[in-house]
Structure 1
């Protein structure tokens, strides 16, 4: 994708003008199988596309999902698809990272917070159980995102599982389960 909005097919060299986002494009990601393209913009939205047919698959309101504390989120700054293509990680200019279920279009849990400012790059480990985040002031942070690892870490750090209230705060969209 060029800065003026043209999409170039690298195999054929053909360029077409296509509006991939609602606002000014700021980040793109291609799924590992080449089937889906995610395009993020400066207003905090991500549009998902079928890369072969250029059919719009849906839009993700990153700005409202990550701004759960009432602050206005900034634009999308980085994105990455998991290797299995089912999860999209989206980073913002204000240092937040939200995981999305690509099939349902729903946010997965609460946003992660980078301690280093604006998110510059995202990558999943090959087994999709770990997310790496690079930000302006911290070159590399590692987040365990596999449910069994997250539960283990919570139990290890707190000595007990999450209460129902804590679960509702930190593990949204998932029915409560005793974690330890």
Structure 2
């Protein structure tokens, strides 16, 4: 059985563009002052984190709520949808592997995948996708995370990533970047 893991955000959709271009209106339901709201929103848009010894903070709750809105608003990449159908039509087992907290966003994530006609066999949350792929014998990963791009091959995982500005930093890797999903087909058929 041919198996591949595919990320959602910034791979199958335009999450970062949606986050950058969306307007989020202040209201009392956030439980923040206007100043906190503006400061936290700036941090979320810059992908910054607050320093805390706690797993859940006012900022982490706010970040989740903004991201949840972007999960629903993000547009699927049409060539990504076509690629996912090509995978299924050619006998691939497709694992959607995301860092999203699926306990909180599992139903909305499934709905987004269904609404965008994205076929898959399994949906998993994994903070370390290399370890996930290694443990579950998934030899291929399509993901935009620099950690996975940099270290995947060392652990026997072939990583393919959509080329983005954040990948301009100088780091050594053997992963293959792509501008169109069509390019991946030749690499996974080798």
What's the TM-score, normalizing by structure 2? 0.28
Report 1 or 2 for greater relative contact order, CA contacts < 8 Å, sequence distance ≥ 6: 2
What's the TM-score, normalizing by structure 1? 0.29
More strand by share: 1
More helix by share: 2
